[in-house]
Every structure is written in structure tokens, then in C-alpha cells.
């Protein structure tokens, strides 16, 4: 029987060339979304790293004491614009970074759903990507604020943490290395974790789209 419904109300038959083209288009959209979210996440992770380098390494707010006397930091009095950018920008970067990771996780899960619904290859790659994104999300969680445990660090530190570390001015090599690991190493680890998910998604996407396009051409022929 002919389907008299308008084209926008029709559902492609499973296994038809049109169905596989729709799956390939959906995966293409998810791949583009992944690229945008990854770029946004990279910028969000770069913000606390840049703030740490500026405040700790170059002391742009002049927080370090220069004499062996009591020192009260006044960052707003030294450089109000720079301090305002850091104190307002870091919470925004944290929110954007965590939201981007949540959306990346949703993107990877949707890709796995498309692969499962279409019975096409790539599910393993998409599922692995979702696991990596979930690990990155756990790593980025504000556990310090939730648990009041100072030992729980985050790739998105607050301005007060950077200020405090700069004021204390670690002098021993071990303390200096620890400061760099905390404020520069953790963002890098978070980025590498998400990047692992990116690579796994790429592997699944390549297999799935190759299968879909091949089936679409076969059905068309």
C-alpha cells in the first residue's frame, strides 16, 4: 500500500537506504556538536591555568610579600580590573566547562543510541567515549565545595585558592611542583581524559558512518 502521508511525517523503513542515510546524518550532526563542545571545554580549562600563571608565576596582583612583615593582600587596590576578571571569570569558566562535559556525555550516549537503534557498528567506541566523558565529569566535580574537604582539588579552582597559594609562596621544590600539579596538571589531566573520549568517539563514528553510507549506496543500487 502506498504511503500517502507527507514526507515529514514518514518514518524510513529499517534497512532501507533512506534509513541509513538518516543515521549517517544524525552521526554527522553529533560529530559537529562534539567539536564545538570540545573547543568550548578547552577554553574553559585554559582560563584557570592562565589565571594561575598570571597570578602565581608573574604576580600580576603583587600578592607576594617583599619583606618579613605581616602582609595583607589587597588585589583590588593593586589591579582592580585584573582582579575583577579573575574573580568573575573563573566561576563562569567552571560552569561552562562542567556544562560542556555534561553535553559531551549526552552527545556520546545519543551516538550509542543511534548505533543501537540502527543495528550498525560503532557501539563499543561510543560507549567507551561516554565512559571517558563520565570520568572527566567526576574529575571536574566541585567536590571541595560539597564536602568541605581541602584535599579534594578540582581542575576549576577558585580565585581565593590561587591567591592563597601565591601569598604562601612555596619555596621548596616539592611545594612548587605540587602547586603546578594542582593548578596546571589537573586541567591538563581533565583535558586528556576528554580527549580519550574524543578518540574513542572518532573510532566508533568512522565505523558507523562507513557502514551506513555503504548500506545506503547498496540499497540505492
pLDDT of residue 12: 47
Contact 97, 45 (CB under 8 A): yes
pLDDT digits (tens, 9 = 90+) for 39-83: 999 999 998 888 888 888 777 777 766 554 454 454 444 567 788
The C-alpha atoms of residue 192 and residue 112 are separated, in whole angstroms, by 22
The C-alpha atoms of residue 173 and residue 188 are separated, in whole angstroms, by 21
The end-to-end CA distance of the chain, in Å, is 23
The C-alpha atoms of residue 162 and residue 48 are separated, in whole angstroms, by 9
The C-alpha atoms of residue 220 and residue 43 are separated, in whole angstroms, by 43
Half-sphere exposure of 149 (CA within 13 A, CB side): 9
Contact 104, 37 (CB under 8 A): yes
Number of other CB atoms surrounding residue 171 within 10 Å: 7
Q: What is the DSSP letter of 66?
A: S
The C-alpha atoms of residue 19 and residue 15 are separated, in whole angstroms, by 6
- Output the DSSP codes for 128-159: HHHHHHHHHHHHHS-HHHHH--TT---SS--H
Contact 193, 132 (CB under 8 A): yes
The residue ranges of every structural domain in the chain are 17-220
Total count of residues recorded for the chain: 221
pLDDT digits (tens, 9 = 90+) for 191-201: 899 999 999 99
Contact 183, 52 (CB under 8 A): yes
**Per-residue pLDDT tens listing for the chain (221 residues):** 445 545 444 444 455 567 777 878 888 899 999 999 999 999 999 988 888 888 887 777 777 665 544 544 544 445 677 888 888 889 999 999 999 999 999 999 999 988 887 788 888 899 999 999 999 999 888 887 777 776 678 888 878 788 887 787 777 888 788 888 888 888 889 989 999 999 999 998 888 877 777 765 545 44
**Which value, in Å, is the radius of gyration of the alpha carbons in the chain?**
24
Place of cell 580590573: 81
Amino acid at each position: 500500500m502506498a504511503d500517502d502521508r507527507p514526507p515529514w511525517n514518514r518514518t524510513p523503513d529499517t534497512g532501507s537506504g533512506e534509513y541509513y542515510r538518516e543515521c549517517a546524518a544524525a552521526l554527522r550532526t553529533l560529530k559537529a556538536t562534539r567539536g564545538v563542545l570540545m573547543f568550548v571545554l578547552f577554553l574553559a580549562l585554559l582560563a584557570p591555568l592562565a589565571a594561575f600563571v598570571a597570578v602565581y608565576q608573574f604576580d600580576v596582583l603583587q600578592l607576594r610579600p617583599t619583606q618579613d612583615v605581616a602582609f595583607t593582600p589587597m588585589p583590588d587596590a593593586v589591579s582592580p580590573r585584573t582582579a575583577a576578571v579573575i574573580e568573575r571569570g573563573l566561576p563562569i569558566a567552571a560552569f561552562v566547562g562542567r556544562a560542556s562535559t555534561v553535553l559531551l556525555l549526552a552527545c556520546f550516549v545519543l551516538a550509542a543510541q543511534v548505533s543501537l537503534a540502527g543495528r550498525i557498528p560503532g557501539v563499543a567506541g561510543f560507549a567507551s567515549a561516554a565512559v571517558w566523558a563520565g570520568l572527566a565529569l567526576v574529575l571536574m566535580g566541585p567536590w571541595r565545595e560539597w564536602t568541605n574537604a581541602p584535599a579534594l582539588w578540582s581542575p576549576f579552582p577558585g580565585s581565593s585558592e590561587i591567591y592563597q597559594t601565591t601569598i604562601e609562596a612555596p619555596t621548596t621544590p616539592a611545594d612548587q611542583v605540587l602547586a603546578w600539579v594542582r593548578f596546571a596538571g589537573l586541567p591538563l589531566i581533565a583535558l586528556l581524559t576528554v580527549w580519550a573520549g574524543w578518540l574513542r568517539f572518532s573510532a566508533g563514528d568512522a565505523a558507523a558512518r562507513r557502514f551506513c553510507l555503504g548500506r545506503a549506496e547498496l540499497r540505492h543500487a
